Each structure stands twice: as C-alpha cells, then as structure tokens.
Amino acid sequence: MHEREHLYIGGSWVEPIGDGSIDVINPATEERIGSVPVASNDDVDAAVEAAQGAFEYWSGTSVEERADFLNRLSAAIKDRSEELAKLITSEVGTPIDYSRMAMVGTPRVVTRSYAKILDDFIWEEEVRNSLVVKEPIGVVAMITPWNFPLHQIIGKVAPAIAAGCTMVLKPSKEAPLNAFVFADILDEIGLPDGVFNLVSGHGRDIGETMSSHPGVDMVSFTGSTNAGVRVSELAAPSVKRVTLELGGKSANIILDDADIPRAAASSIYACFGNSGQECSALTRLIVPEEHRDEVVEVISSKMERYSVGNPMDESSRCGPLVSKRQQESVSSFISSGIEEGATLVAGGEGMPDGLESGYYVRPTVFADVTPEMTVFQEEIFGPVLSITTYSSEQEAVELANLSEYGLSGGVWSSDEDRAMRIARMMRTGQVSINGGAFNVTAPFGGYKRSGLGRELGVHGLEEFLEIKSIQR
C-alpha cells in the first residue's frame, strides 16, 4: 500500500490543514492501492507562501546550478525507473512496457534536455539602445492530469526549474502517487526549500484556489477543454499568464500514393497508445474512397491479434481505462457509434473476452463514419478509431480541419513534398509524416480549443519567462 499522509511544502513533509483522504484505485483490479491527503485552501496558501519565499534566492541562482539540479533529477528518475513504471501502471493501467518507455523514460529524457538547453540559451540581447533580458515569471501553479502523470509533471517542472521559477503542483486525484515519489526524489537531491511544493486534492476546490490565487504569477494546466476554460476564467481577474494543454480529436490522413498496409497498420497504434487515453491520439483516420476496403481489411486482421488484459503482463497491448467513470464514458461513445450507423469493424460494446473485472472496454474500430456522427466530432479518450473516406485531396484536408480541436495530426504519402504540403494545410500544433517519431525538444501544444502556449524544448522554457527592456 502507498499511504501518503503529508504534503510537501517549504522543503518538508507537513501535516495537512485539510481533512480527509482520496483513495487511489488500481483500474485493472478495482482494488485500493493507496491514498493521498485532501489539502485545504489554507494548505494552498502555505504552499504559495513557501514558493514566494524561495523565489528571490532561486531566481538568482546561476544557470550552471539549475542545470546541475536537472541532470541530478534525470539520473534519480533513471535510478527509480522500474519502481515508477510499476507504480504508474498500477495507477493508470498503462501496459508496463509502454509505461517504462513513455511514462518514465520520456520524462527522464525531457529533464535532461532542459539542462542541455541551458547550455546555450540566450538570456540577454542588444536591440539598438535597449538591453532585452529574459527573467523567470515567478510562482507557477501547476495542475496536471492522470493519463501521462509523470510526463506532464516534468513538462512543467523541468522548464520552471530551468527558468528559475518556483512552483506549487497539484496532481490528478486519479493518479497522484507518482507525484509523491517525485517529491521524494526532489527532496533527496537537495532542491532548495520552497522551490517545489506539492498539494493534493480535488480540482474543483484547491485547483480553483490555485488558479485564482493572488500570489500565483502563472498557471500551467493540462486537462479537459472545459476545465481549461474554467482555469482561464479564474485567472483572468488577476491577469496572470495561463498556458493550457487541452483536448484533441486529431486526424490521420492516408493519401492515395501511400504505403497503404503500413499506414493502416500504424494507425492502430497511433490511436490506441495508452489505451487511447492520449490527447494527441490520431483518432480519425481519413482514407481515399478507393482504398477503403483495403484499409479496413488490414486493420481488421491486426485487431484480431490485438491483446487486451493485465497491464503488468508484458504481452498486453491494451490495458484498462483509468476509472469506472472513464469506462462508462467510452462505452457510451461506442454505443453511439453503433446507434448512429457507423460500420463496426472491430470491438464493440461490453467487456473484452475473458475479462470480468477491471475498467476495460473492447478496442473498437468504426468505418463509414461521417462528420455529423458523435464519434467523428467528440474527444472519446479511449481506444476507439473512426475511419472516414474522401474523394479528393482538398476534401481530405477539409475533413481533417473539421474539428474544434487542433492538437496533432498525421499524413502518409510516398511523396514527402506532397505530405509536407498537406501537413502545412492542417490546422494543428503537430503533424507526423509517415509515422515520424515524437521529438521531446520540439514544441508541443495546440490550435483552437486544444490550448494556449507550448510545452517542451526552448518554446516550453520561454513560457516561464518574462521579457524586460532596459533603455540606455
């Protein structure tokens, strides 16, 4: 059991002022695996005060000192990588191999990347008679989700450390335990008191307090679009900076000259990673009319061997969803696809064969999905792929852009110049060409209702900086 009874404030584990606790449930077994305390508004005040108190010292540290902490943090995550991977799998249900790679390996690399970025980052420049300087923005409130819990924490904490900011983190109540281990690690490597503070609880309570707190200079939020809108509303009266990484309904276009079998097979993994619980998942597959049957045949045959089950079993490709609520939500979307007339290619309603407990759904593929259908328009956040056909290149781009979101996308073509032209026409924050690999030093974020600002790389660092002009 992972029973956490204290909050990390001002460099110490302290008794919370708030009452109560939140149980953490293993979604594969439906068993309780631990708990975290429920912080109060007074706890948030104490955490913000600690961060304010540490800011003057931390913002004045050298670049070399901050880079050293980042390198030590990356090494410490590596040392505890198996512990963290198993813990996150037990919290989220992510298959263990994917957890090792994406849930722990990627955060470790991102942390190290910011140490490298600091090597040649330009903090000051001359512009005629002005000296333009970049300075840390101040105290940052960080609110992170459950689907990539440690990665989303690192995506905020690492650049904030690099920038010289101090912070207060509230992790998701569904998967908070890894955040407490992360705080243990920061304590062990000697991060100065007050630079990082951890409070846990319900978003509707302390998350809202953090977003509106007068002592907070910036809010960095990752989660649903509706929650992001609320964060913006609460932050607006104090005119604090807000960065938002929100929902997605991303399109994957297969052009008529693509390697159809390879593109079709790849589309499964581009959609179903982390059991489909990825904001950047490519959930809408847009294919030429003349290749519809071939695409469906390839995907159908692959899905017959797509294993679903215990996420600790290294043979499982798809684990459970994170919670009963999420299971019910995704199941309702699957039902709506059937009711609205989409062609069921694989999966469907009910539990996967051989499973009687756990928050599982059957990984599902629909063909003949039209733009007015719910499964085309709404973010499902589960293993559900929708296939839509087009008759012209222009129609393919129009279908891809026919969404209130714009987080990610994909294009497949044997002609890279053609693929690049289409990628430039897609109204989205990232596009992969022929399955191009994720780049941890490239900016990540979205257009439209997918968010504001960018994470990762130099662009992610600059979100935590203010700009000052000094004339002389």
Specify whether the CB–CB gap between 439 and 102 falls below 8 A: no
**245 in catalytic set:** yes
d(CA 79, CA 362): 35
167, amino acid identity = M
Reduced to 3 states (helix: H, G, I; strand: E, B; else coil), residue 51 is helix
Of the listed 165, 271, 279, 318, which one is catalytic?
279
Four-point Cα dihedral 63, 69, 70, 73, nearest 10: 180
Q: What is the dihedral of CA 176, 177, 179, 185, to 10 degrees?
A: 170
- Do 198 and 169 contact (CB within 8 A), yes or no? yes
**Is 271 a residue of the active site?**
no
Catalytic-role residue among 245, 278, 379, 463: 245
Beta carbons within 10 angstroms of residue 375's beta carbon: 24
Buried b (16+ CB within 10 A) or exposed e, 45-79: ebbbbbbbebbeebbeeeeeebbebbbbbbebbbe
Q: Structure tokens of 466?
A: 């203010």
d(CA 379, CA 400): 14
Q: Is 453 left (phi over 0), alpha (psi -120 to 50) or beta?
A: left
Instruction: State the Cα–Cα distance between residues 282 and 279, nearest whole angstrom.
Output: 9
The whole-angstrom separation of Cα 193 and Cα 173 is: 25
Question: What is the spatial distance between Cα 29 and Cα 38, in angstroms, rounded to a whole number?
Answer: 24
- The tokens describing 90, both together, are 């037990």
Contacts of 351 (CB under 8 A, 6+ apart): 360, 361, 362
Contact indicator for 130, 174 with CB cutoff of 8 Å: no
What residues contact 101, with CB distance under 8 A and at least 6 apart? Answer: none
**Are 87 and 178 a contacting pair, CB within 8 Å?**
yes
Could you give the CA distance from residue 395 to residue 380 in angstroms, rounded to a whole number?
24
Token reading at 65: 């000192």
C-alpha closest to that of 162 among 71, 48, 51, 57: 71
Residues tagged active-site: 245, 279
